[in-house]
Structure 1
Amino acid sequence: MVDPRTPVIVGVGQFTERIDLPGYRGMSSVELATEAARAALADTGADVTAVAEAIEVFAALRQFEISTPFSAAPLGCSDNYPRSVAARIGADPARAVLEPLGGSGSQKVVTEFSAAIAAGDAEVVLVFGSENGSTLRHFAGRDDKPDHSEQIGGQLEDRGYGFEQYMDEYTATHGLTGAPVQYGLLDNARRAGLGATVADYRTAMAELFAPFSKVAAKNPFSSSPVERSVDELVTVTPENRMICDPYPRLMVARDQVNQGAAVLIMSVAAARRLAVPEQNWVYLHGHADLVEQPLLDREQLGTSVSAEYAVAEALRVAGIGLDDVSTFDLYSCFPFPVFTVCDTTGLATDDPRGLTLTGGLPFFGGPGNSYSLHGIAETVLSMRDNPGRFGLVGANGGVMSKYSVGVYSTQPVEWAADRSRELQAQINERPRIAVTRHPEGRGSIETYSVRYDWPEVTGVIIGRLDADGSRFMALTTDEDLLALMTDGDPLGAAIIVTPGEQKNHARPA
């Protein structure tokens, strides 16, 4: 018998609306999350009304349409996303929470409120999220736009946007305003460390992701249930155009989706009181939440210390090793987050257990900050089907900026604290690279990407100054340097960098 305050996941729900299927409505974020919440309630196997009324906390993941203070949601939105969903399922929670940006938030919030339940601060919590990117694209430029505005009011613990953790004026000015270019820098830095050629690395990325597409092709909640071959993924075509080097379109997270997911957590006492069948209970055995150093400060750009430490700590708390894990769902917005977990843990990229249960963000779908809720949902279902086994979810946020891990099993276990605070202090104390914001003189290319999504193709460079080894950022539209960056291999190439009023510029040395 475990402590009655022990947290258990008792219900999971997912929902996907695909534009290529009959009945497509172009649903709002609230509607998508509501469908997922209803599915999670039904999944408990208990009285749906009683369970809904028992939910004390609605913890929501911030969707992209409300992720910046600089623009309004194109179709309008709720002024209290969590309470809009609560009202639709007949709930009136004491507390509504809106989490900041970050794909790590799914696991981080599940861990946070599991700990709150274990401490006796809550008994029933619903964690949910959704994205309506397909709807926003579908109605863009049309006259018959729906109005998704809602004024519901009430208490809301808005934890802010959080984007300042991922970018600042310096990086944004130098093109780091979207995930593809940010991760392109990381994947090319990893390639530099491996000494791989451009062609070999692109093939390795395709070999990593082709099996993901096979999983997505069989997942009923997938946004793109199409199996892709290695050749399909690696070959640049008009359909598979380059987005940002080194990524063709099919290796980029699919963000124009309509998807929602929800996870219902209860104390054991509440689960018994509400008559949730015990075979539906899944325990969070291990967990960890860590934050990486800022991008330009990191000693090595081609790896992730926070992911390495978080996976190791979650396994330690669970009391198991990597070989004891039966399933994985590793955050896969681009190849790099998967590669770095494999690099730092020894997990093979072609491990027969597979690295995803959903099918991954480029194929299953990349619903913003809430993708890993789908990973958790699939893991919970898999653990129920395989009692006593263990499933690991790795959730990533920002520019590989935050990493959260959960280890799940039906095997009963009482809540155990992790050492994330201690490990975070170790990460914070690691060496940092000096950054020169207005560099001048000779240097070399440490890593790079190319933005094909701008009106003028532009090279984005992180370099090192010859004079002192400090790191800098620069842009280039120089024809010769761009030719090297698009058709050759510029890693380590000598350049001349000059400071501008706002942007630094690079040319061949």
Structure 2
Amino acid sequence: MVADNTPVIIGVGQYSERVGEPGYEALSYMDLAGRALAAAIADSSASEPVSPEIDTLAAIRAFEMSRPDRKPPFGAANNVPRAIAGRVGANPKRAILTTTGGQTNQKLVGEFARDIAAGESQCAVVVGSEAISTVLALSAKGEKPDWSEEVEGDFEDQGFGVEGLLEPSLFAHGATGAIPLYALAENARRAKLCKSLDGYRRDIGELFEPFTKVAAANPHAAAQVKRSAEELATVTERNRIVAEPYTRMTVARDQVNQAAAVIIASAGLARKLGIPEDKWVHIHAVTSATELKLSERPDLSANPASLASVDAALARAGKGIADMQYIDFYSCFAIPVFNQIDHFGLTVDDPRGLTLTGGLPFFGGAGNNYSAHAICEAVQSTRGDRGSFALVGANGGWMSKYAAGVYSTEPADWSANDRYEKLPLADNAVPAGKGDFERATVETYTINNAKKGSVAVWLGRNEAGERVSGNADLSDEPTRAAFDGGEPFGAKLTVRQKNGRNIGRIA
């Protein structure tokens, strides 16, 4: 008999639409999320109404609401969580607008499960959505619908949560978004493996080819097209380099209209609501971890916090990676996946697959809510394969935060309420350079192809061994040759300061 205060996932739901396809409605963030939550309620097969029992609802912050300097172009509800709740007739005591980060939904599953086990909640929802594709499509036509809503009631605004993601020196040198920041880490791994640019792009293509096959079969995927490793790796006009070593097809796809919701309840409430036990999926472990800033990491190619998070979740579940029949490693770019399979000794063609959705470049879901879709797929997979286990790894920032979860229809004992763990931050940060410097050694780099032109960004060490960043002077032929050729690693630069930037030339 599963104890009444045991947290169980009782319902999951996804909703999506693609611009121009039959049935397309150009739904707002709130409408998409409401459809997903309604689908999750229906998925529970409850014989009694679920909505009145929802006491906690967390709305994942949409991508276009994720920075203080950005506003949703068509507006949004003044109270996003209660706007979503109202679409299914719910009135939770606790309504939350979450912080930014792709790990947030997985982390919240752990936090809400802990609250339920402690008797502080009976039914909690994690729900989020993105409508970026619709925003772009309507804006291109000059249309501007009004998605604003005035909704009464209090809610907890947890803030943007981007403080730990700020890298002022890197931003100042042109690494201003996820693509170049991940590319810096990716090239560091390439250097460690002594791979050429073409060879490493081929590795990325081979990693992601199986992902495209999963996406092609997923009705919610943004890109339902199978692609070969060669097609993904080959640089063409359509598959241009966005930042070395990434081609356009191998980075997270942000043009999506997708939503997903997860409902967690106490076993006692699930019984009261008449939810069949074959719908219950147990939460065996959830862990969350925070990484050092990118520029502080001793090994720029590594992400030990993510590995520790997955290791700890597996250990608390009493399982190993070999026991996971279903796996979804967060795949906004290749390196978060590479880090996991390097650590566990997995291959890119592991017969279990490394994604349940098709992955972020193909399924879509860039922003903050992708892993809710992965959790939905994990729940459905374990329900259909009773006794099996699923692992979901969720990543936020520039491999800055991570949360991992282990799921199964097998019961999990929450009597000690110790299945959610927050891991400590590492204390081995590399010191940042202070003030001007004259020489540096390149550790990693990328050439970021932005709208304003291409810029070569590097990270390295100054003469004092401190971590510094700068731009390569591509007007200097030896410097251009080293960076364009993809092999500036270990290069000695002479550095001058200009307009607040560090400009390096091959010494």
Q: TM-score range by the shorter chain?
A: over 0.9
Q: Is the 8 A contact 2:286 2:420 kept in 1?
A: no
- Other-structure match for 1:239: 238
Identity of aligned residues (%): 44
Q: Deviations over 1:244-265 (max 9, x none)?
A: 1110100000011100000010
SS of 1:347's equivalent in the other structure is: coil
- Other-structure match for 2:267: 268
Q: Is the 8 A contact 1:458 1:482 kept in 2?
A: no
**Deviates most, 353-362 or 17-26:** 17-26
Distance 2:146 2:223 in 1: 27
- Other-structure match for 2:44: 44
**AA partner of residue 418 (structure 2):** A
Q: Deviations over 1:122-149 (max 9, x none)?
A: 0011111111110121122543311001
**Deviates most, 133-142 or 114-123:** 133-142
Q: Deviations over 1:329-375 (max 9, x none)?
A: 01000000000111222233321111001000000012411000000
Distance 1:488 1:272 in 2: 60
**AA partner of residue 417 (structure 1):** D
Q: Is the 8 A contact 2:378 2:407 kept in 1?
A: yes
Q: How does 1:340-379 map to 2 (within 5 A)?
A: 340-379=339-378
**AA partner of residue 181 (structure 1):** P
- Other-structure match for 1:111: 110
Q: How does 1:269-288 map to 2 (within 5 A)?
A: 269-288=268-287
Q: How does 1:200-219 map to 2 (within 5 A)?
A: 200-219=199-218
- Other-structure match for 1:460: 457
Q: Deviations over 1:368-414 (max 9, x none)?
A: 11000000000000000000110000000011011100000000112
Unaligned runs of 5+ in 1: none
**Deviates most, 255-264 or 286-295:** 286-295
SS of 2:124's equivalent in the other structure is: strand
Q: Deviations over 1:304-334 (max 9, x none)?
A: 1111111111011101111111010010000
SS of 2:325's equivalent in the other structure is: strand
**AA partner of residue 490 (structure 2):** G
Q: Is the 8 A contact 1:439 1:472 kept in 2?
A: no
SS of 2:274's equivalent in the other structure is: coil
Aligned residues: 503
Structure 1 residue 174: deviation in Å? 2.1
1:309–1:184 distance in 2 versus 1, CA, 3 Å: same
The answer to whether the aligner puts 1:442 opposite 2:439 as a matched pair is yes
1:184–1:118 distance in 2 versus 1, CA, 3 Å: same
Distance 1:482 1:282 in 2: 55
- Other-structure match for 1:9: 9
CA RMSD for the aligned pairs? Answer: 1.5
**AA partner of residue 44 (structure 1):** S
**AA partner of residue 270 (structure 2):** A
Distance 1:420 1:500 in 2: 46
Q: Which runs of 4+ in 1 moved over 4 A?
A: none
Unaligned runs of 5+ in 2: none
From 491, 496, 499, the counterpart of 2:497: 499
**AA partner of residue 442 (structure 2):** I
SS of 1:368's equivalent in the other structure is: coil
- Other-structure match for 1:157: 156
1:234–1:315 distance in 2 versus 1, CA, 3 Å: same
Q: Is the 8 A contact 1:438 1:499 kept in 2?
A: no
**AA partner of residue 183 (structure 2):** G
**AA partner of residue 473 (structure 1):** S
**Deviates most, 203-212 or 496-505:** 496-505
Structure 1 residue 483: deviation in Å? 4.0
Q: Is the 8 A contact 2:167 2:295 kept in 1?
A: no
Distance 1:345 1:232 in 2: 28
Structure 1 residue 37: deviation in Å? 0.5
Distance 1:121 1:261 in 2: 24
**Deviates most, 132-141 or 177-186:** 132-141
1:419–1:85 distance in 2 versus 1, CA, 3 Å: closer
SS of 1:10's equivalent in the other structure is: strand
Q: Is the 8 A contact 1:459 1:482 kept in 2?
A: no
Distance 2:377 2:386 in 1: 14
Structure 1 residue 196: deviation in Å? 1.6
Structure 1 residue 419: deviation in Å? 7.5
- Other-structure match for 1:25: 25
**AA partner of residue 441 (structure 2):** S
SS of 1:369's equivalent in the other structure is: coil
Q: Is the 8 A contact 1:438 1:504 kept in 2?
A: no
The answer to whether the aligner puts 1:197 opposite 2:193 as a matched pair is no
Structure 1 residue 500: deviation in Å? 3.2
**AA partner of residue 7 (structure 1):** P
Q: Deviations over 1:403-456 (max 9, x none)?
A: 1000000001122414744x41xx433x22121143422222101111112322
SS of 1:428's equivalent in the other structure is: coil
TM-score normalised by the chain length of structure 1: 0.96
Structure 1 residue 490: deviation in Å? 1.6
- Other-structure match for 1:169: 168
1:146–1:462 distance in 2 versus 1, CA, 3 Å: same
Q: Is the 8 A contact 2:15 2:260 kept in 1?
A: yes
Distance 1:477 1:31 in 2: 49
